[in-house]
Structure 1
Amino acid sequence: MTNDAAIVPRPRATDGPGDRSTFALGLILRRAHNRAVGAVTRVLRPLGLEPRHFAVLIALCGQGPMSQSALVRVTGSDRATMVRVVDDLERAGLVTRAARPGDRRVRIVAPTEQGQLVFDQAHTDAAPVVGDLVAHLRPGEAEHLLDLLERFVYPDHP
């Protein structure tokens, strides 16, 4: 015999506005990610970059030169993809790759002056596009959304 009173029906996933199912958070975050990445990709494309290239420039321009292994960790990429991305960036003159003194097996990747300029240009070009992404939000909501997402993604960060 089942206890029908203990069965609480939950809403089923709809992957649309108003979805309050168990899956709603993941579904809406995926849609938000796709929308944001699409906009950023349109900004990066004229600069000859893809989001994966920009992720490497973010790491290098923010943290300084590092090994390809460190780039794999920082960007969440895999080794094979990182080699291709660094190859692309090196061909474009945006990074250099050199053996670490004392350990020639380790390759250190560093942004070039041109890489820094392209990184800065991407920020300039992205400002109006990102502004358009949140233009429909009320004053202060974009900052609030960013705050909530940061706390969601980095729960241990003060």
Structure 2
Amino acid sequence: MANISLEMDRDGSGVMVDEFAFIDAKHNRCRGFKTLTLWTYHQVLRKLVSSAIMEVDEENTKNCYKFNPFGFIVGDNHANWCSIRDIYGVHTLERAVSCEFHYKQSVQRNSRKVSEKSNEFICLANALLHAETINQFNAACEQMETFFKINNIKELHKW
């Protein structure tokens, strides 16, 4: 597992220098703990492999070991994004992307908070997901912010 992580160093010459690190937490494996797992696609083995696993009482910045992958794929847990920012610096967030599965899961979960406007919220969230240019993304962000303001939805503004 350690060798896989070392091969992922974006400044190195390993075979996995261009691979993303996918960080995810499982909440039902061990009572009272979360299981943090670091996954990556291994080009030689042609499959997803786990390069680190640990049990933690909460997801926070103390749970990260500093290594330097090409990029990060993270779920919708805010702690993951904060950890990357706090440990590696705000500039590293440019190399981080959201997991599409977890994003869609979050959209569905949060659409229940605006039940009468859930279809509109889902449509706006999908526009964010499928934006192909920075201009499309910024326009979708503005539409989402307007949606929150017009409908006075404060609990989702942070989302």
TM range (shorter): under 0.3
User: TM-score when scaled to structure 1?
Assistant: 0.24
Higher relative contact order (CA 8 A, sep 6+): 1
Report the structure number with the largest CA radius of gyration.
1
TM-score calculated relative to the size of structure 2: 0.24
More strand by share: 2
Query: Which has the larger share of helix?
Result: 1
